[in-house]
């Protein structure tokens, strides 16, 4: 029986390996992690991450050909194929701080693989890494090996949180990069055969190592660029009276542009887009390409602009101060159908409002109070490190309360900010919301989920990103 071991039981390692186990009953899959809390979670009824459909997949295979363990070295030693799906956060100090990828966790995983291996292995980069990482990893493996051979492959993951299982069942493509040597080509074939159990051959793209590594960074940069492009348009729409939804629809019907990923919002979040673009920027700078670096940097600048523009709209609409006013924050996750809050725009918006001394009442159906407290007290980039290395969170933050019901959050609030497009926020009884709020009652929709016309009829003053402005807001400054 072929044995696969995956180092890193996170948002990528867990779901990806569960689906491989489901689709390949003849392969034994073990997911290992240094965090016993994470592994205990995977072995319990409350999985450590929320993804629609994930519970069913894990339940079907766990204990049969899918295992979760903290015995990292033992399972790596026994495996034929080792996936590495550990954190690759942005460096917070030293050379390249704030941009370059921190490969500490990858390097320590590679050293451990070399140290414990007694048989030849294929080592697969699943984490998103800078171009040419495979070369560095190869060096670590070959200089530390004990008579064994390692072949390295790049197999970046393209799943999106919230739809991970759907994406893994039916991927747009699977990308496998390897060396153009006989050993490299043989390893590509071995991994291709694993995916071929359920992915059509024409969707499995095989390239050289560097193309595979760069394609992942490029894909995330293009996706984020699309969001920043439509968000840049949203500011212009507000200034001119155009409606960003109508503009998106009109341009999306052009088959060269396409309709997906054209929703204006308060900004993109998630663990990957910002980190991967910063990484791309750094690689461009290191390769003497400052113009290319600046081009991609702008995608992040527009994202930051969009978040501060939103905060400014809130404060300026509410008589230029939110001091001591209760603001309800609906949604904290970076998008719906996930509990992940890494780089969620809600963090920057909440911090901006707290900076103006607002009182926040936060509700998200999937994010715990502990998580929100941590997020609002942590420094940028700290979130992307393994949980046990993160600073402990304070027990509470003055001015912030976390509640478990949207109606509780909005009670006596002066304003409501919608930060995540959870379906339940579309279906709220907005008359009931209005009745329970202070007047004038404001709604600031950062995801364009509410029906602006209906809410205005109820009596709300509504700001919805990129939509024609409420007469109330028209004369207010957009940016401080």
Residue-by-residue DSSP string for 46-97: S-SS--TTHHHHHHHHBTTTEEEES-HHHHHHH-SEEEE-----B--SSTTT
109 near ligand NAI, rule: CB under 6 A: yes
6, 24, 237, 272: which is the annotated catalytic residue? 272
Q: Using an 8 Å Cβ cutoff, are 174 and 203 in contact?
A: yes
Figure out which of the listed residues 28, 65, 85, 151 binds ligand NAI, where binding follows CB under 6 A. Answer: 85
Figure out which of the listed residues 4, 6, 7, 278 binds ligand NAI, where binding follows CB under 6 A. Answer: 7
CB of 88 to ligand NAI, least distance (A): 4
Look up residue 155 and give its two tokens.
């197999």
33 near ligand NAI, rule: CB under 6 A: yes
Three-state DSSP class for 208?
strand
308 near ligand NAI, rule: CB under 6 A: no
Alpha-carbon dihedral 262, 237, 417, 370, rounded to 10 degrees:
40
CB of 16 to ligand NAI, least distance (A): 9
CB of 169 to ligand NAI, least distance (A): 16
Figure out which of the listed residues 103, 209, 264, 272 binds ligand NAI, where binding follows CB under 6 A. Answer: 272
Q: Is the CB of 27 or the CB of 159 nearer to ligand NAI?
A: 159
Cis preceding-peptide flag for 20 (omega within 30 of 0)? no
Handedness of CA 92, 97, 101, 103 (dihedral sign): negative
CB of 271 to ligand NAI, least distance (A): 5
Find the helix or strand (DSSP H, E) in which 400 lies. strand 400-402
6 near ligand NAI, rule: CB under 6 A: no
Known catalytic residue: 350?
Answer: no
79 near ligand NAI, rule: CB under 6 A: no
The residue range among 23-31, 33-41, 114-122, 305-313 that interacts with ligand NAI, by the rule CB under 6 A, is 33-41
CB of 7 to ligand NAI, least distance (A): 5
478: exposed, middle or buried (Cβ count in 10 Å: 0-12, 13-18, 19+)? middle
108 near ligand NAI, rule: CB under 6 A: yes
Q: Is the CB of 278 or the CB of 376 nearer to ligand NAI?
A: 278
Beginning with the edge strand found earlier in the chain, give each strand of the sheet holding 66-69 in spatial order.
66-69, 27-32, 2-7, 81-84, 121-125, 150-154, 174-178, 204-208
CA distance from start to end of the chain = 63
CB of 305 to ligand NAI, least distance (A): 24
CB atoms within 10 A of CB 93: 9
Shortest-Cβ-distance residue relative to ligand NAI: 10
Figure out which of the listed residues 228, 271, 279, 317 binds ligand NAI, where binding follows CB under 6 A. Answer: 271
Within residues 118-157, the interface with ligand NAI by CB under 6 A covers 127-128, 157
334 near ligand NAI, rule: CB under 6 A: no
35 near ligand NAI, rule: CB under 6 A: yes
In the beta sheet, which residues pair with residue 402? 362
Length of the chain: 480
CA–CA distance, 453 with 402 (Å, rounded to integer): 30
The site for ligand NAI (CB under 6 A) is made up of 7-13, 33-35, 38, 72, 85-88, 105, 108-109, 127-128, 157, 159, 161, 271-272, 386
Q: Which residues are catalytic?
A: 272
């Amino acid at each position: 029986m072929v044995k696969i071991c995956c180092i890193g039981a996170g948002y990528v390692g867990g779901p990806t390996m569960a689906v491989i186990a489901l689709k390949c009953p003849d392969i034994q899959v073990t997911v290992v992690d240094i965090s016993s809390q994470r592994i205990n979670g995977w072995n319990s009824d409350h999985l450590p991450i929320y993804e629609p459909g994930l519970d069913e997949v894990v339940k079907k295979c766990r204990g049969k050909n899918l295992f979760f363990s903290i015995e990292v070295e033992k399972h790596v030693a026994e495996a034929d194929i080792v996936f590495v799906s550990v954190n690759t956060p942005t460096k917070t100090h030293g050379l390249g701080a704030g941009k370059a990828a921190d490969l500490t966790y990858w390097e320590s995983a590679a050293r451990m693989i070399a140290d414990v291996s007694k048989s030849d292995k294929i080592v697969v980069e699943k984490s998103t890494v800078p171009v040419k990482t495979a070369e560095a990893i190869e060096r670590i493996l070959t200089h530390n090996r004990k008579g064994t051979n390692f072949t390295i492959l790049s197999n970046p993951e393209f799943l999106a949180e919230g739809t991970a299982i759907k994406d893994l069942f039916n991927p747009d493509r699977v990308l496998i990069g390897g060396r153009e040597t006989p050993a490299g080509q043989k390893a590509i074939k071995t991994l291709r055969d694993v995916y071929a159990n359920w992915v059509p051959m024409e969707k499995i793209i095989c390239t050289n190592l560097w193309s595979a590594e760069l394609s992942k960074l490029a894909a995330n940069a293009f996706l984020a660029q699309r969001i920043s492009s439509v968000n840049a348009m949203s500011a212009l729409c507000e200034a001119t009276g155009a409606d960003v939804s109508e503009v998106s629809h009109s341009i999306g019907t052009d088959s060269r542009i396409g309709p997906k990923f054209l929703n204006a919002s308060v900004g993109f979040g998630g663990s990957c887009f910002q980190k991967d673009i910063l990484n791309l920027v750094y690689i461009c700078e290191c390769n003497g390409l400052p113009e290319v670096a600046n081009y991609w940097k702008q995608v992040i600048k527009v994202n930051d602009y969009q978040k501060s523009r939103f905060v400014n709209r809130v404060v300026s609409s509410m008589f230029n101060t939110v001091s001591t006013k209760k603001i309800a924050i609906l949604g904290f996750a970076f998008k719906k159908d996930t509990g992940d809050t890494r780089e969620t725009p809600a963090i920057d918006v909440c911090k901006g409002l707290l900076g103006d001394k607002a009182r926040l009442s936060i509700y998200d159906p999937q994010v715990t109070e502990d998580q929100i407290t941590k997020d609002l007290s942590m420094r940028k980039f700290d979130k992307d490190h393994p949980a046990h290395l993160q600073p402990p969170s304070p027990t509470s933050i003055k001015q912030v309360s976390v509640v478990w019901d949207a109606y509780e959050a909005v009670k006596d609030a002066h304003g409501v900010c919608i930060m995540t497009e959870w379906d339940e926020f579309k279906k709220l009884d907005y008359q009931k919301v209005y009745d329970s709020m202070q007047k004038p009652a404001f709604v600031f929709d950062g995801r364009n989920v509410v029906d602006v016309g209906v809410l205005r009829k109820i009596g709300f003053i509504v700001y919805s990103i990129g939509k024609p402005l409420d007469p109330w807001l028209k004369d207010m400054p957009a940016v401080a």
